Amino acid sequence: MPYTKEQACQKISELVASFKASEARLHREAEAQIENNFIRPLFQYLNWNTRNAGLAVADYEFLVQKTHRYGKRPDYILQLDRQHLLVMDAKQVKYDLHDPRWMNQVYAYAYSTQNLAPARRIDFAVLTDFQEFIVLDCTLYAGDPRAVSNFRVLDWRCEDYLEQFDTLWELFERENLRQAARSRAAGQPAGLWARALSPRKVKANRLPPDKTFLAEMDDDKTGWRVRLAKDMKKHNPEAGGALITAAVQLLIDRLIFVKALSDREIEQDYLAKLAETVERDGLSESATGWFRACRAIFEKLNDFYNGSIFERRPELEAVAVSNKVVREIIRALQPENSPYNFAALPVEILGTIYERFLGRVVRSTDKRVYIEDKPEVRKAGGVYYTPQYIVDYIVRNSVGKLLEGCRAPEEVAKLRILDPACGSGSFLLGAYAALLDWHLAYYRAKSRPGKQDRAAAYRDPDGQVRLTARLKRQILLNNLFGVDIDPQAVEVTRFSLSLKALEDTRREELDEERSLFRQSVLPDLSRNIRCGNSLIAPDYFSGMFPDAQEMLRVNPFDWQGAFPQVFSESGGFDAVIGNPPYIRIQTLQESGPGQVAYLKRSYRAAASGNYDIYVVFVEKGLGLLNERGRLGYILPHKFFNAKYGEGLRSLIAGGRHLTGVVHFGDRQVFEGATTYTALLFLDKTGRDSFEFVRVLDLQAWREGEPQERGEIKTEAVTAAEWNFTVGKGAELFEKLSQMPVKLQDISTRIYQGPITSADDVFLFKKYQNESLDVIDVFSKELDEWVKLERSILKRVVRSGSIGRYWAITTAYVLFPYSIDGHTAKLFSKNEMQKMYPLAWAYLERNKKVLESREKGAFRDSEWYRFGRTQNLAMWEQPKLLVPYMITELSAYPDRIDNFYFINVTTGGYGITLNESHGNYLYICGLLNSHLLDFYLKKVSTTFHSGYFAANKQYVERLPIRTINFSDPADKARHDQLTQLVESMLALHRHKAAAPTQSEQELFQRQIEATDRQIDALVYRLYGLGEAEIAIVEESLKRP
């Protein structure tokens, strides 16, 4: 029976009295005695099952952390409902618990969980010897271990258990803590979480360890990379950036690996040994002999661990670095100083750190070194690591599907899994975890393991099944393969997989392998994780005599030569997974035009258009699969609709390869980046149908809640644009798609706005006195107001200044052309000087800027012309204006305004019509209807914050209900819609001119009523029933 509050108070009172009576003697007692006689009973009286009596292992409330005498792990994790709530470390009474070493030890463990899933994230740590009871807020970052003292939420002596018993019961009684944890999950902090410290008050930041650890490694001024790089350059003036980049990373890798071995208690504290060696040998801080002094330690580790982490590397042998810099980094990593404990910080989080780390390189000149982003990273706006939930989903639906068909380890051993752009190894780590989980489940299910199983699995003293280090090695070598063009990425992937292999490994097992079998713990992954250009084969250099630098830059890769057994025994890979790079071909053209030409010759996906490199990775990945193979990628869904995606769409459709699509629309998967992505699953063998999922709520999808989904026949998939529709609106969408007449069929032209190539010169968003012959405009290029002739300026409509049935001028463009019919002619210099002297003087002030456009392509007598000459004369005629970036499809009939769009993305399209099937007002009414808005949003590209692209390729495919003017009833419907549109235009003009709010509201009510009339008429024109109308209205979420 649980203790009541009164009973608990009495029991704890007796416990405190017992402690106080023996306090002097207890200073000599061992830690275990203090735990068993005082700390466990304290929590027992607070209703915790401290002995885990009657509980399954997964439901233990007091999780004992197995630790060695000098272990770095806290003693206990307290959990309820399989959710970790507290970490607790017990100490002997003789210790001063305010010593930063002890506080930092328990703090670092909890802080290192801050990137984990909520069930494994621990926000508070308890440090106690019963005499003292300290609770720390571990969500805050402590750059200095002495700062941890500031994170105390409670700092009690044993007398406080009684004096503040109400608080003790409120915060730590089992059910109270359970309820507080549930409140935290619901976003309503209670209990301990209500006492979380204010970052401002304690002068600390609530930053997760992935961000703080990356800053320690890579801060531009104080990070380990820049300090090591500068020091190496100082002592090795001839060293280039590539050598320093490699040497810095190898050195950091070694030190982090050593820390992981120590924190996980797999090895003795070799960080301390490295520090002691430097100190013992009396190496001065300015000297560079530390590496030679510590070589014996690295060689010893290499003998046992192999795996390439500690082997001799020419990069490290070629450079020297001062003892001072290395000593400072080692000191920062030591447990008493570091806020990180790698026993709690999983290798997957290290991968996120390294992914960002790999986005930068060391550059070296004769005089200095500096760190900068790689060119492709600069153009992409940063490095964006694939979230773990995406990795898990792709692995589960590719590797997981293959594992479902395996009945024995021998079958699993034959699986070959590849990431062709492996980066820091996140997908291979995910695949490795899935393989380990499969083997654990297999051996747990065996009630009596046979002799042949003993080399693969065993039961530890607690009765838990563990996989042997030998099996973990075999899985790495048998199953996992990766390629990356970046040698540093290859190093990190090998490093990450090696760390993963040591996860949950018992020191006793490794000692046995070392002493009895002389077995290296880690495999050599150099044949599994290779460096090379996944897309370019050695035939790239056929008939050429390239220099060494060119060969290094292109780095061609021979798949058959690198992985001969994969192709000879398996016919290719069983799974290809990953997040291929997103690099526009224009970027690659700048650095490697020869590679662009090669890709165009070698891949259907690269045959035409300004494609992105990820489409080529899809084709390559598909080609590397064996007959039962499956591909799973996260990639932009732009190729579904883009012209450049036609080659890849044709390839996939022709082979009926589609097996699954998860479409995120405008939901943002990558933190800090705006990308529009989907998950793509392909089978090498053709499928009759595939599952399509449209994610409407990303968080709900992550939590397993159903989203819009359906099965689609692969025979319906072609090289044409992919607009997959499932759910309630699918049949209606298909019905509209089958209508024979599209907007492009009744348009004489759909065209974009003029492109100036120098909007800062030609476009004016601020202006005054526009009714005068000479008006004032603000030049962004000159950063000043200038006067220009009104007659050379054209009125511009921009995004946000045009909507359904209305448009207003929000800018002017200097237009140095005369219009004659459908022809535009650039004014000559003499004409400009004579008719527009102010404009000419303004242009001459910007001549240098205008001539320098497109790398000097405008250095001629017509230097003041626009960047492109298309569509210049198309704007001073009747037309429909359709803005590009929209939240709802909008059109405005420009009959006499002669408005201009400038560019596409900030403007839109002009549309001229053949009015034999309906006049401008009629078509405008259709375009502004809920129905065509519904249709456009099914085919258009989605953007963040609910925006859609009304791109030409989408707009021209809108289904149009044409009018048969020989049918009186049809003509009457046309005339009715035309009249309603005329009313809407007038109402919008009246509302814009209304001087009072009440008048504006009056006109707005009438606008809404007329809008409903238009929608009702359009529904009748298109023949929609009540159920179909309901689908449209519900999908648009309009009142």
CA distance 935 to 954: 10
Same domain? For 392 and 438 the reply is: yes
Domain boundary pick from 727, 755, 784: 727
Residue 610 has pLDDT above 70, yes or no: yes
The residue-averaged pLDDT of 973-978 equals 97
CA distance 416 to 430: 14
Same domain? For 193 and 221 the reply is: no
pLDDT at 272: 85
Tell me whether residue 1027 is in a domain. Answer: no
Tell me whether residue 546 is in a domain. Answer: yes
Give the single-character DSSP code of 27: T
Tell the burial category of 200 from Cβ atoms under 10 Å away from its Cβ (0-12, 13-18, 19+).
exposed
Give the single-character DSSP code of 1024: -
CA distance 231 to 364: 12
DSSP SS3 for 48: coil
The residue-averaged pLDDT of 949-971 equals 93
Same domain? For 196 and 223 the reply is: no
- The two tokens of residue 1033 are 């209205």
Could you list the residue range(s) of the whole structural domain that residue 979 is in? Answer: 746-1021
Nearest to 1013, CA basis, from 982, 971, 1037 = 982
CA distance 287 to 307: 30
pLDDT at 438: 97
Residue 268: strand pairing partners: none
Residue 499 has pLDDT above 80, yes or no: yes
Which pLDDT band, with edges at 50, 70 and 90, does 852 fall under? very high
Q: Higher confidence at residue 359 or residue 208?
A: 208
Instruction: Tell me how far CA of residue 894 lies from CA of 216, 849, 904, in angstroms.
Output: 59, 34, 17
382 Rama class: left (phi>0) / alpha (psi -120 to 50) / beta? left
| Domains in the chain, number | 4
Q: Would you say 425 and 497 are in contact if contact means Cβ atoms under 8 Å apart?
A: yes
The residue-averaged pLDDT of 681-685 equals 96
- The two tokens of residue 106 are 């328990």
Tell me whether residue 383 is in a domain. Answer: no
pLDDT at 814: 97
Q: Would you say 362 and 567 are in contact if contact means Cβ atoms under 8 Å apart?
A: no
Q: Which residues contact 496 (CB under 8 A, 6 or more apart)?
A: 347, 350, 351, 354, 424, 425, 428, 429
Q: Which of 191-205, 401-415, 949-963 has the lowest mean pLDDT?
A: 191-205
Residue 230 has pLDDT above 60, yes or no: yes
pLDDT at 519: 60
pLDDT at 269: 84
Nearest to 774, CA basis, from 763, 762, 785 = 785
Mind listing the pLDDT tens digit for each residue in 784-819? 999 999 999 999 999 889 999 999 999 999 999 999
- The two tokens of residue 580 are 């291929």
H or E element that contains 908: strand 908-913
Residue 517 has pLDDT above 60, yes or no: no
Nearest to 621, CA basis, from 684, 715, 685 = 684
Same domain? For 261 and 310 the reply is: yes
Domain boundary pick from 202, 227, 247: 202
CA distance 60 to 413: 34
Same domain? For 21 and 145 the reply is: yes
Percentage of the chain lying above the pLDDT 90 cut: 62
DSSP SS3 for 993: helix
Tell me whether residue 286 is in a domain. Answer: yes
CA distance 966 to 957: 26
The residue-averaged pLDDT of 953-961 equals 94
Domain boundary pick from 668, 697, 727: 727
Instruction: Tell me how far CA of residue 275 lies from CA of 325, 330, 331, 841, 951, in angstroms.
Output: 12, 7, 8, 71, 63
Q: Would you say 881 and 910 are in contact if contact means Cβ atoms under 8 Å apart?
A: yes
Tell me whether residue 733 is in a domain. Answer: no
Instruction: Tell me how far CA of residue 413 lies from CA of 399, 435, 804, in angstroms.
Output: 13, 10, 62
pLDDT at 1038: 44
Residue 149 has pLDDT above 70, yes or no: yes
Q: Which residues contact 1007 (CB under 8 A, 6 or more apart)?
A: 984, 987, 988, 991
List for the chain the helix, strand, coil content (%; round to 5): 45, 15, 35
The mean pLDDT of the chain is 90
Same domain? For 691 and 822 the reply is: no
CA distance 802 to 893: 11
Give the single-character DSSP code of 196: P
DSSP SS3 for 682: strand
Mind listing the pLDDT tens digit for each residue in 104-117? 999 999 999 999 98
Residue 69 has pLDDT above 60, yes or no: no
Helices (H) then strands (E): counts for the chain:
46, 36
Q: Higher confidence at residue 703 or residue 373?
A: 703
Same domain? For 332 and 358 the reply is: yes
Q: Would you say 762 and 776 are in contact if contact means Cβ atoms under 8 Å apart?
A: no
- The two tokens of residue 930 are 């809920």
Same domain? For 337 and 451 the reply is: no
pLDDT at 1039: 37
Same domain? For 765 and 692 the reply is: no
Same domain? For 69 and 113 the reply is: yes
Same domain? For 854 and 976 the reply is: yes
DSSP annotation string for 736-800? HHT-S-BHHHHEEEEEEPP--S-HHHHEES-EE-TTSSEEEEEETTTTEEEEEEGGGEEEE--TT
Q: Higher confidence at residue 372 or residue 790?
A: 790
Mind listing the pLDDT tens digit for each residue in 463-475? 788 898 889 999 9
DSSP collapsed to 3 states, 519-559:
CCCECCHHHCEEECECCCCHHHHCCCCCCHHHHHHHCECCH
Q: Which of 153-157, 591-595, 674-678 has the lowest mean pLDDT?
A: 591-595
Q: How many CA atoms lie within 13 A of 349 on its CB side?
A: 21
Q: At what angle do helices 646-654 and 614-624 cross, to 10 degrees?
A: 20
CB count in 10 Å sphere of residue 1037 = 6
Tell me whether residue 412 is in a domain. Answer: yes
Phi and psi (nearest 5°) for 747?
Answer: -95, 140
Instruction: Tell me how far CA of residue 674 lies from CA of 379, 382, 421, 643, 1007, in angstroms.
Output: 13, 11, 21, 21, 35
**For the domain that residue 52 is a member of, what is the CATH number?**
3.90.1570
Q: Would you say 482 and 530 are in contact if contact means Cβ atoms under 8 Å apart?
A: yes
Same domain? For 992 and 844 the reply is: yes
Q: Which residues contact 26 (CB under 8 A, 6 or more apart)?
A: 19, 33, 34, 93, 131
The residue-averaged pLDDT of 475-488 equals 94
Tell the burial category of 22 from Cβ atoms under 10 Å away from its Cβ (0-12, 13-18, 19+).
middle
Tell me whether residue 379 is in a domain. Answer: no
Q: How many CA atoms lie within 13 A of 57 on its CB side?
A: 5
**For the domain that residue 552 is a member of, what is the CATH number?**
3.40.50.150
Sign of the torsion formed by the C-alpha atoms of 94, 96, 100 and 105: positive
Instruction: Tell me how far CA of residue 178 lies from CA of 82, 108, 773, in angstroms.
Output: 11, 24, 76
Residue 285 has pLDDT above 80, yes or no: no
Chain centroid to CA 943? 16
Residue 565 has pLDDT above 80, yes or no: yes
CA distance 331 to 638: 48
Tell me whether residue 79 is in a domain. Answer: yes
